[in-house]
Amino acid sequence: AQAYRAIAQFRFRQKLELVRRGLQDESPAARGSALISLEGLSRDHPGDVNSMRSLLHELASNDPNLAVRRLAIICLKNGSPQRESILVLNGLAEDDEADAELRKTAKTIAAALTKRANTR
């Protein structure tokens, strides 16, 4: 897990492939650390999030670990404001069976992406 967290500090060609592997790892700690790395990498390069958007949607919607789901939602804020992401986030925000913090995070990120989309 610590190795995935350290990826954001380095710039090498295979960093995104390592992050992708971390996102698909069976360990929630590894997935979470990979998401933290992706969030750090994507602050300056939104393409990093855009290239993994479908995987982030899957993690945000269906991961069994609540922390991993919230981290995936947070990563989406650094990507471009695509309609699919906003729809996924709004769906999570309106899910009465979902955790309250997860719904709040999804609503906040969806609003930020919608605002960015409307200013274009």
Q: What is the pLDDT of residue 33?
A: 92
Q: What is the pLDDT of residue 72?
A: 98
Q: What is the pLDDT of residue 1?
A: 57
Q: Indicate the number of domains in the chain.
A: 1
- Measured at the alpha carbon of residue 83, what is the angle toward residues 82 and 85, in degrees to the nearest 5? 70
Q: What is the pLDDT of residue 4?
A: 55
pLDDT over 60 at 13, yes or no: no
Nearest to 42 by CA among 79, 5, 83: 79
- The domain in which residue 19 lies consists of 2-118
pLDDT in tens, 32-61: 999 998 998 888 888 889 999 999 999 999
Q: Assign 118 a pLDDT band (cuts: 50, 70, 90).
A: very high
d(CA 37, CA 40): 5
Query: Where residue 82 sits, what CATH number does that domain have?
Result: 1.25.10.10
Rounded mean pLDDT, 18-26: 93
Rounded mean pLDDT, 96-106: 96
pLDDT in tens, 74-86: 999 999 999 999 9
